[in-house]
Amino acid sequence: MKRIGMLTGGGDCPGLNAVIRGVVLTAKAAGWQVLGFKNGWKGIIQNDFIELDENSVSEILWRGGTILKTSRTNPYKKTGDVAKVRKTMKKNKLDALIAIGGEDTLGAGNKLFKDGIPVIGVPKTIDNDLNATDYTFGYDTALNVATECLDRIRTTAESHNRVMVVEIMGRHAGWIALEAGIAGGADVVLIPEVPMSVNEICGYIKQRRARGKDFNIVAVSEGFSIKGEELVTAKKDIDAFGHVILGGVGDRLAKLIEKKTGLETRCTVLGHIQRGGTPTGFDRVLGTRMGVKAVQLVQQGKFGQMVSLCGRDIVSVSLQEAVGELKTVPAGMYELAKIFFG
């Protein structure tokens, strides 16, 4: 009987439980056992797990978050943690480890594979910034939440003749802000890939006002850089993977816009609202398909691979290809959005 370990690492997102369910039910159909390690890489370092069966994953498909919990633990941060991962794998006689996560979780998984541990990756991130897959599960839900929030903000902006700045998640890649901005009819979309000055931003706002429109919506990624200023961060601390904690660019931008234009400007930060709640049908189906494919890769002994969506097909690509570089917004997509600026 094969024994598979599974963990969810990094930020939570809708669709994680769909993947877990897909893995467990597919593995159980083959007569295999599945151990779910708690709190990401921390769980496998500490040998903290639960055995998962059909009852464990009953009624979790619609739930956001992850029943296995998560953390931003980096197994390469502390000396000896990789050895603990090996020990846990050996002690529990695991044939494979399925790591569900984003760039950091799968980056660690790729290193572990190179160090001889049989790892399969499943791409999870609301930012949609993992390379070698058309979409990551969780993105569609986050995009729909952000779009709905822009729709709701619009009525307040219109009622008060305000400029409303909406800060949306997106550390290095602006996919959510870009597509939510297009779908929600934002007047300006600001993403990490394209720094912009306050003068340029206010120029678009004034263009709209000159057409007789008396309110504005500005969608901004949390990782956006204002030209001439340092990147705005919530704290100076860094996490286990060396990332600063972002947040605050929306508030800073609102103050600058109001000072420059004299228009009443307010900021709304969507924050973790985008991560939570019930996953869309798209993310439930995508997560389920990816979970099934991950077990199939274990069956085939294809380790060091990541499950990927290519068109409508679920395929596999190397973990190295997936984490080698981030999938950022291409210039052509941003030019499409700019057609509607102002």
State the catalytic residue, choosing from 12, 81, 104, 127: 127
Written as one string, the DSSP assignment of 281-310 is HHHHHHHHHHHHHHHHHHHHT--SEEEEEE
Which residue type sits at 7?
A: L
Q: What residue spans of the chain are helical by DSSP H?
A: 16-29, 41-46, 81-91, 103-114, 139-160, 175-183, 198-210, 249-261, 281-300, 319-323, 331-338
- 112 contacts 120 by C-beta, under 8 angstroms: no
Element (H or E) spanning 268, and its range?
Answer: strand 265-269
Which residue type sits at 158?
A: E
- 24 contacts 117 by C-beta, under 8 angstroms: no
Q: Cα(191)–Cα(145) distance, rounded to whole angstroms?
A: 18
Q: Cα(265)–Cα(280) distance, rounded to whole angstroms?
A: 32
> 109 φ, ψ to 5°?
-60, -40
A 10 A CB-CB count for 45 gives: 21
Pairing mode of beta strands 119-123, 305-310: parallel
Is 127 a residue of the active site?
yes
| Intra-chain end-to-end CA distance of the chain, in Å | 62
Which residue type sits at 13?
A: C
> 256 φ, ψ to 5°?
-65, -40
Helix (H, G, I), strand (E, B) or coil at 265: strand
Residues with catalytic function: 127
